[in-house]
Structure 1
Amino acid sequence: MNTFVIGDIHGGLKALQQVLERANISQNDKLIFLGDYVDGWSDTANLIDFLIDLKTKQDCIFMMGNHEEMVLKWLKGEEDNELWRFHGGQSTVDIYEKVSEERKEKHISFLSELEEYHIDENDRLFIHAGFTNLKGVYFEFFKGMFWWDRTLWETAMALDKNIQEDDFRYPSRFKLYSEIFIGHTPTTRFNETTPINFANVWNIDTGAAFKGKLTIMNVETKDFWQSDSLPDLYPNEKGRNI
């Protein structure tokens, strides 16, 4: 069995199907999804159906992302806001106008059961965005940091590559886990189209919400596979607003 981690998808079911095929994924493999399945391309509802079915066939772990948090509140009638709609939410609203109530309830159930984070047997942390508490995720006071924080990634990028872990300047958060896998901040913001690694933090979000590609990575070997660019897969759509 191999373990693979998948970056932010944002409704791009075609991209997910491509990377699963290109990575030659079998039902014996473990799949860890870092969140942001919704808000973007037109297959959001179909993607959720696909993920629900996939979980019945193999070992899958699904993280909560900031977009799931917002969509779940909207689906439950708790919150609606213009900023969310501008950043991909409107596409989700349009999609769910055509979704039956029964199907919608299944999606609400799926989204309600998403994980805040996952720590595997090798002390690797999988989380959508990051965390801020110096003692780790168990001690995070505001759980929303798990799907909104960017300070973990910013700290990793700013870290001097010559600083070793035993240096007093080395960030305490990085010492808590053997590796940390995140999404949330597209690598395309830094003119990179592939996963980026700083210290022990791996960013797997390669901009599938915008003009980038979806990435799946083997967590042991760091081999990765990518889909076609999402605008090529959905040529008549715009994806998320930047």
Structure 2
Amino acid sequence: MMEDKQIYIIGDVHGCYKTLLALIEQFPNKRNSKIVFVGDLIDRGANSCEVVEFIINNNYDCVMGNHEELFLEYAPNKDEFGENFNMENSSYYFERCGGKATLDSYKNKEIYFKHYDFIKNLPLYLEYKDYKTSDNRYLVVSHSAIANVWDKRDSKDKFDIENFENQLLYRRYKQFDNKDIFNVYGHTPRSEAKLTSFDANVDLGCVYKKEKVINPRLCALEFPSMKVYVQENLE
């Protein structure tokens, strides 16, 4: 008998800590729920440090998002963290992608190092074979849609590996039915959650202004019931 009958997949949080807490309060078991995040925990919003710390402390699952990958590429590593780090060397990440808000949220070196290691070890996808739809598809969570590269996940070919990673982290709008799985992801902000027979997008652009997303909210999908939870941005 499975302990958790439902799992909650939460869309791109982007440092919106208060909004995240309010969303989780809507779940029947609140913080004791089985929860997984689709990545993009950080950047743009003001409270990335609090979001990551909350996820670590509660031992929630999470996959790598493109913003986590950008963080590892451009943010200071353990030798660079502090006053001597020059953000101008990576202005695209710090200004355009919201990386400055992430760095500003860290006041403590030890916590930064702990989070850096946590982010570095995030997987590209997570499989939940105990959670299935009524037509027997099991849950797979990724940052962007898996689309037509699922059969490349165990490939040793360099091109296949690169193609797989790029699809799961960066690419958008690929519709593809992988018969055995139900894929839940975020990455591309929408005005409403998208649900098909084989996948779901749960990114409702929580961190964005209304000029970019009509109704910015944080979203969670209860699986396999397919109930959608939403929370207005409280930041």
Same fold (TM over 0.5): yes
User: Any idea what the Cα deviations from partners look like across 1:104-134, whole Å, max 9, x if unmatched?
Assistant: 1111121122121011114321100134526
Q: Does 1:7 align with 2:15?
A: no
Does the 8 A contact of 2:65 with 2:143 survive in 1? yes
For residue 75 of structure 1, report the CA deviation from its aligned partner: 3.2
Provide closer, same or farther for how the CA distance between residues 134 and 111 of structure 1 changes in structure 2, counting only shifts above 3 A. closer
Does the 8 A contact of 1:130 with 1:148 survive in 2? no
How many aligned positions are there?
A: 201
Equivalent position of 2:125 in the other structure? 117
C-alpha separation in 2, matches of 1:195 and 1:130: 14
For residue 49 of structure 1, report the CA deviation from its aligned partner: 1.1
Identity over aligned pairs, percent: 23
Equivalent position of 1:159 in the other structure? none
Does the 8 A contact of 2:13 with 2:218 survive in 1? yes
Provide closer, same or farther for how the CA distance between residues 22 and 91 of structure 1 changes in structure 2, counting only shifts above 3 A. same
Equivalent position of 2:199 in the other structure? 201
C-alpha separation in 2, matches of 1:51 and 1:29: 12
Provide closer, same or farther for how the CA distance between residues 113 and 155 of structure 1 changes in structure 2, counting only shifts above 3 A. closer
Question: Match for 1:104 among 101, 112, 131?
Answer: 112
Amino acid at match of 2:143: H
Q: How does 1:18-167 map to 2 (within 5 A)?
A: 18-26=22-30, 29-55=33-59, 60-73=60-73, 74-76=75-77, 77=80, 81-85=90-94, 86-96=96-106, 99-121=107-129, 122=132, 123-131=138-146, 132-133=148-149, 135-139=151-155, 140-142=160-162, 143-150=165-172, 154-156=173-175
The alignment's C-alpha RMSD in Å is: 2.2
Equivalent position of 2:182 in the other structure? 179
User: Any idea what the Cα deviations from partners look like across 1:164-202, whole Å, max 9, x if unmatched?
Assistant: xxxxxxx4xx23433111100001xxxx2x211245120
Amino acid at match of 2:109: E
Structure 1, unaligned runs of 5 or more: 157-170, 235-242
The worse-fitting range, judged by mean Cα deviation, of 20-29 and 33-42 is: 20-29
State the secondary structure of the residue aligned to 2:200: strand
State the secondary structure of the residue aligned to 2:117: helix
